[in-house]
Structure 1
Amino acid sequence: MPAILDIELIRTFHAVARIGKFSAAAQQLHKSPAAVSVHIQRLEAVAGGRLLNRDNQAVSLTALGKRLLSSTTELLSTHDRVLADLQGTRLAGRITLGVPDEYADHVIRDILPTFAAAWPNVVLELRTAPSYALRDQVQRGKLQAAVIARPKAQPGTESLLLTSTSPVWVGPINSVIASTQPLPLAVHAAQCPYRQAMIEALRQCARKSRIVLESPSTQAVKACVEAGLAISLIDRARVTDKMQILDSLPVVPEHEVVFMRSQASHADEAVNLLSRAMQQHFRL
C-alpha cells in the first residue's frame, strides 16, 4: 500500500516549524507534547528521514524538513480552502482586524486572500497601528481582533500564540559603536513593544542615546539602519544582508506574536475561522 500524507500530521509539523518549540506548538494545537512528538515521528517515517533538529531550547528544520515545509504549504492551504468550500458559503459577517506595520504585508498578502476566497460573505476591515494601540482597541471593543507583538509571559485576554520572536540590536554592516558617544536610535512609534524594550534596556545599563528617527513604518526604521544613520531593535528573522547584529548591547528578552480577540467576539464563528487561519499560516 502506498504511503499517505496525513493532513493532521502536516498541520502539526507546520505548527512546530513555525513556533520552534514542541511545548508551545502542543499548546496551540490543543495536544499533549507526547502526541506532537508521535505525529512528527509518523511523518518522518513517511518522509524517510529526520525533519527537525532538536535541543533543549528549540527545534530547527533539517534540509529535508525545509523541503517538506515548502512543498506542503500550498497543500495545507488548498485542503482548508476545499473543506471550506464543501461546507458552503453560508457564513456571513464583518471582522474588524488590526495588524502592526511589521506584519501587515505578510497577513495581507499571504493569509487574508485565502480566507476571503473561502468565506466571500465575510467582510474584512483592516487597521494598522502599533501593537499596544491595537491591544487597547481590542480591549475597548473597537476592534474584534488584532495581531500584536508583546513580551513573553505577559497576561492577555483571549490571545492565541502565533510565533515567538527574538529581538536583536542591529546596525549597518562594518559599523563600529563608540562606547563614549550617545547611541543613535531609529525607534518605532509610541506604543510599540520594541520601542519600550529598547529604551528600558538602555536605561538599565545607563547607556546614553539620542533619537535619529521616530516612525510607525518598519521599512523606514530598516532604511535608517541600512543607511548607517542609526541602530535599532528588530526580529532576528528580519535582519537583512545590509545589517549586522550588535552583540555588545544588552540582551532583550524574547517576545511573542499573538492573535488577540475581544470578549464580544468569542462566539463569532467568522472570527473563530480567522483565528484558525492565522494559527495555521502565520510565519515570520
Structure 2
Amino acid sequence: MTAILDIELVRTFHAVARIGKFSAAAEQLHKSPAAVSVHIQRLEAVAGGRLLNRDNQSVSLTALGKRLLVSTTELLSTHDRVLADLHGTHLAGRITLGVPDEYAVHVIRDILPIFAAAWPNVVLELKTAPSDALRDLVQRGKLQAAVLAQPKGQPSAHVLVSTLPVWVGPIHTTVASMDPLPLAVHATQCPYRQAMIESLKQSGRRSRVVLESPSNQAIKACVEAGLAISLIDRAFVTANMQILDGLPVIPEHEIVFMRSLSSQDDEAVNLLAQAMQQHFRL
C-alpha cells in the first residue's frame, strides 16, 4: 500500500520543528502534548525513521527530519493556497501589522507575499518599531497585530519560535581587553537593549554606548567593524562576528504574534496568524 502524507501531521511536525518544544507546539496548535506526540510518531512511520531528537528540554531535527522539513515547506504553502482558491477570494478587509526591524525582511519577503497571493482583497499596512513599542500599539488598538520579541513565558501571544540572544563581538577580540565595554545598543523599547543594560549593571561591568540605533543592520555593521559588542539572536550571527564568553547569560526569548482584543474574531487576522505560524523562521 502506498504511503500517504497527511497534511495535518506535516503541519504538526512543522510546528514542533519551528518552536523546538512539544508542549509549546501543542499549545499553539490547540492540541494536547500527547496528540502532538502521536502525530509525530505517525509521520515517522510514513517517513521510515526518526524525525526528531528529543530530551527533557527541547527537540532538534535529525538528518531525515531536516530533509522532510525542507521538502514539505512548499507543500504546506501550496495546500493553503489551493484551499484559498477553492473558497474563493471573497475575504476582504485591512490589517495593520507591526514588525521589528530585525524580522521585517523575513516577514515582508517570505511570508506576506504568500498571504497576499491567497487573499488578494485583504489590504496590508505595515509599521516597523521596537518590540515594546509595538506591544503598546497593539494593546491600545492602534495596530491589529504585531510580531515582536519578548522574554520567554509572557502571556497573551502566540509563540512563533524560541530564540537565544547571545553577546557578539568582532573576530579576534576578547572581552578581557575591553574596559569599559563598548556597546552597540538597540533603540529604547527593545527588550534586548533592556537585557543588555540590566545584566551588565547587575554584574558590575562598566560600559559605554558607541551606537544607539533602531536598525539591526547598523548594529551588525558596528560589531563587524570592530567598534562595539552587542546582543543579537544566535541565528543572526555572521561570519564576521564571534560569540563572546565571560558576559552575563541572557535568558531565552520568544518571537510571538500578538493581536489586539478587537481583532480576536477577525477572519483575516486569523489567517495571517496561521501564515505566520506556518512560515516564520530564524
**TM-score of the alignment, normalized to the shorter chain, above 0.5:** yes
Answer yes or no: is 1:3 the counterpart of 2:21. no
**Could you tell me which residue of structure 1 aligns to residue 115 of structure 2?**
115
SS of 1:13's partner is helix
Deviation at 1:171, TM superposition (A): 0.8
Deviation at 1:141, TM superposition (A): 0.9
Q: Deviations over 1:27-50 (max 9, x none)?
A: 111111111111111111111111
Residues 163-242 of structure 1: matches in 2 within 5 Å? 163-178=161-176, 181-242=179-240
Answer yes or no: is 1:141 the counterpart of 2:166. no
Question: 1:231 & 1:269 partners in 2: Cα distance?
Answer: 43
Task: State percent identity of aligned pairs.
Answer: 83
Deviation at 1:155, TM superposition (A): 3.5
Q: Deviations over 1:200-249 (max 9, x none)?
A: 10011011100111111111111111111111001111111211111210
Deviation at 1:128, TM superposition (A): 0.4
Question: 1:249 & 1:179 partners in 2: Cα distance?
Answer: 13
**Could you tell me which residue of structure 2 aligns to residue 85 of structure 1?**
85
Residues 55-94 of structure 1: matches in 2 within 5 Å? 55-94=55-94
SS of 1:195's partner is helix
Question: 1:177 & 1:91 partners in 2: Cα distance?
Answer: 54
SS of 1:60's partner is strand
Judged with a 3 Å threshold, the aligned counterparts in structure 2 of structure 1 residues 180 and 278 are, in CA distance, closer, same or farther, namely closer
Question: 2:37 & 2:178 partners in 1: Cα distance?
Answer: 50
Question: 1:153 & 1:51 partners in 2: Cα distance?
Answer: 27
**Could you tell me which residue of structure 2 aligns to residue 95 of structure 1?**
95
Deviation at 1:176, TM superposition (A): 1.4
Question: 1:195 & 1:162 partners in 2: Cα distance?
Answer: 21
Deviation at 1:180, TM superposition (A): 6.5
Question: 2:250 & 2:52 partners in 1: Cα distance?
Answer: 27
**Could you tell me which residue of structure 2 aligns to residue 160 of structure 1?**
158
**Could you tell me which residue of structure 2 aligns to residue 52 of structure 1?**
52
TM-score (norm 2): 0.98
State the Cα RMSD in Å. Answer: 1.0
Letter in 1 for 2:193: R
**Could you tell me which residue of structure 1 aligns to residue 25 of structure 2?**
25
Letter in 1 for 2:219: V
Judged with a 3 Å threshold, the aligned counterparts in structure 2 of structure 1 residues 200 and 85 are, in CA distance, closer, same or farther, namely same
Question: 1:87 & 1:208 partners in 2: Cα distance?
Answer: 60
**4+ residue segments displaced more than 6 Å:** none
**Could you tell me which residue of structure 1 aligns to residue 281 of structure 2?**
283
Letter in 2 for 1:90: H
Question: 2:140 & 2:274 partners in 1: Cα distance?
Answer: 23
SS of 2:175's partner is coil
Where does the alignment leave 5 or more consecutive residues of structure 1 unmatched? none
SS of 1:149's partner is strand
TM-score (norm 1): 0.97
Deviation at 1:177, TM superposition (A): 1.6
Question: 1:133 & 1:193 partners in 2: Cα distance?
Answer: 10
Deviation at 1:178, TM superposition (A): 2.7
Question: Are the aligned partners of 2:161 and 2:281 in contact in 1 as well (CA < 8 Å)?
Answer: yes
Question: 1:44 & 1:192 partners in 2: Cα distance?
Answer: 40
Question: 2:260 & 2:189 partners in 1: Cα distance?
Answer: 19
Where does the alignment leave 5 or more consecutive residues of structure 2 unmatched? none
Question: 1:232 & 1:86 partners in 2: Cα distance?
Answer: 48
Letter in 1 for 2:10: I
**Could you tell me which residue of structure 1 aligns to residue 106 of structure 2?**
106
Question: Are the aligned partners of 2:174 and 2:244 in contact in 1 as well (CA < 8 Å)?
Answer: no
Deviation at 1:179, TM superposition (A): 5.9
Question: 2:40 & 2:176 partners in 1: Cα distance?
Answer: 48
